[in-house]
Structure formats: structure tokens, C-alpha cells
Amino acid sequence: MSTQEKDTILLANAIAEQLKLRIQNGTYKAGDRLPVRQLCETFNASETPVKQALNQLVATGLLVATPKCGVRVRSFTFEDMKNVLEARLMIELFCARDAVLRVRKDPAYAAEMQNLLDASNRDYHHCIKDFTKANFILAHEGDGRLHSALVNASHNPEIIALYRTLNTHAGMFTSFEKHTSDTLQQVIRDHESIIEALLNCDTDELRSALERHIRSTLRILQSGS
């Protein structure tokens, strides 16, 4: 890879990060078009890194690309989130057995899941103490890593790819105003129940804990809708 190509990738990553922040803080709102030429002027960049940045955010679920209509900021209605969460639950329930089997065979995986839980708990406790949107988003990013690691235990590339395309945590930043310290504590308890069941190799309880967690999340998302 040439130096120019590397520089283009670095610039695309930086533009993608700036676009992500502007979507999350409401500068760009659901449904807004993001014309390439306008973004080139905004970021003083050529079309190549701008298009690469847009493609990155389409892949992560923050943007939607429509033929002949360009790229728009994705909307995250309750119905949108409900559909994604129910699909996510279906996959996680299916992967529960594989996750338990992997815990039995691989102490390193069990340690990884415990570490992810500890990191997630720290992020959520920090968010409870300092309830800002930035801390809330960071907590949900750790949340996503925890759930993804459970699905990855399946070692099934098709299932893992399908789960990734759901971008299950992409729109969680929109639920910031629906959360309180009590609801964040509930998320912590849900995660602890999930990991406890996993480390105890109790597949039925793991599935029950996952379902309770998703149903709890849906109740939070629906509040005030």
C-alpha cells in the first residue's frame, strides 16, 4: 500500500469519526441528506476519503444509502429498534448453547467474558455518576462488545456476519433521554445475570436472562414514545 493510500484511509477514518459525532450530537438529524460535494467542502477533502467515510457509516448502520437518492442519516424509531432487538435476541438465544460449550472447554473465553462484564460495569457506573451523552455512548459501545463476544462463540461466520449487519447498538444513542440512573442499574444487573448464567454453564438460564434483558430494553425504549 502506498503512502498516499494510507493517508487517504487515515483521512477517511477521521472524517467518519467526525460524522459519527455530528450524528450522535444531533448536528445531522434523521433523514438529513449528506451530499458528497458538501462534505468535501466541510472537511476540505477530496471525494475519495469522503465516500470511504460514508461507506464506513453505512456499514455501521448510522447512514442509509439509496440508489439515485444518495446517503441519508438513518432514522431510529421505536419500531426500527424493536425489529432489530428482536432479531438480535433470536441470534443470541441460538448462540447461547455454543457460548456455554466454549466456557466449558476454554478458560480463556470465560475470562474474556468476565473482563468484558467488568469493563461494561465500569462504563455504566461512570455514566451513572456523570450522566452525559458522551459517557452514555461509550457505555453502549462496551455493551455491544459484550454481546458480540457471546455471538462469536458460535464460530459460525454466517451467523456472526448476520449479527454484525444488524448493527444492534448503532441507534442506542437516541435512547439517552429515556434512561435514568435506575434504568442503567437495571442494565448492569441484566448483564451480571447473563454472565453469571454463562459462567455457571446454565444454558436455559442464560437464554432466560438474555430474553429478560431485551424485554427490559424494549420497555425503556418505549417509555415516552
Kindly report, residue by residue over 155-187, the tens digit of the pLDDT: 999 999 999 999 888 888 999 999 999 999 999
* 209 and 103 in a common domain: yes
* 197 and 116 in a common domain: yes
- The reported pLDDT for the residue numbered 216 is 96
**26 phi, psi to nearest 5 deg:** 90, 5
* 123 and 20 in a common domain: no
* 119 and 23 in a common domain: no
Structural domain count, the chain: 2
Q: Which residues of the chain have pLDDT under 50?
A: none
The domain in which residue 184 lies consists of: 78-222
Q: Which of 114, 118, 121 is nearest to 197 (CA)?
A: 114
Model confidence, pTM = 0.87
β-strand partners of 63: 73
* 60 and 122 in a common domain: no
Helix-then-strand count for the chain, H and E: 9, 2
- The reported pLDDT for the residue numbered 136 is 95
CA angle 18, 61, 216 (to 5 degrees): 110
Task: Tell me the C-alpha distance between 70 and 72, whole Å.
Answer: 7
Task: Give the end of a domain, one of 47, 73, 99.
Answer: 73
* 130 and 59 in a common domain: no
Per the CB < 8 A criterion, the answer to whether 124 and 139 are in contact is yes
Task: Give the end of a domain, one of 54, 73, 92.
Answer: 73
Task: Tell me the C-alpha distance between 129 and 181, whole Å.
Answer: 8
* 83 and 60 in a common domain: no
Q: Residue 69's domain is classified under what CATH number? A: 1.10.10.10
- The reported pLDDT for the residue numbered 6 is 81
**140 phi, psi to nearest 5 deg:** -70, -25
143 to each of 77, 125, 147, how far by Cα in Å?
Answer: 20, 13, 7
Task: Give the end of a domain, one of 51, 73, 95.
Answer: 73
* 196 and 92 in a common domain: yes
* 102 and 54 in a common domain: no
